[in-house]
Amino acid sequence: MHVKRQIYTKVEQFLRDDDFIRYVMDCSPDEESYWVSYLSAAPQIRSAYLKAYDILMHLDECELLTPEQAEELKIRIFNTLRIKVN
């Protein structure tokens, strides 16, 4: 896991972060500990964090993304987790 150089303030920043995607989709205790600490260090980002988390957990139902954006994000998730798409 990489140490973040900046504090994310936008949903898009979280959704572009492979570590965040991996954390949400395949949570391990180490990942969870890191992101809990990250949130504790910058509580003002909680809203963006929760929206990004919700988007990833409910991607097929998300109204915040166009269908094209949702599909692009799914492909990115699969690539991040190294899942083959047929």
Closest to 9 (Cα-Cα) out of 49, 57, 65: 49
Cβ–Cβ under 8 Å, residues 12 and 3: no
pLDDT of 75: 82
Domain boundaries in the chain? 11-81
Reported as a single tens digit per residue, the pLDDT across 6-53 is 789 999 899 888 888 888 887 777 788 888 888 888 888 999 999 999
pTM of the full predicted structure?
0.71
Over residues 58-68, mean pLDDT: 76
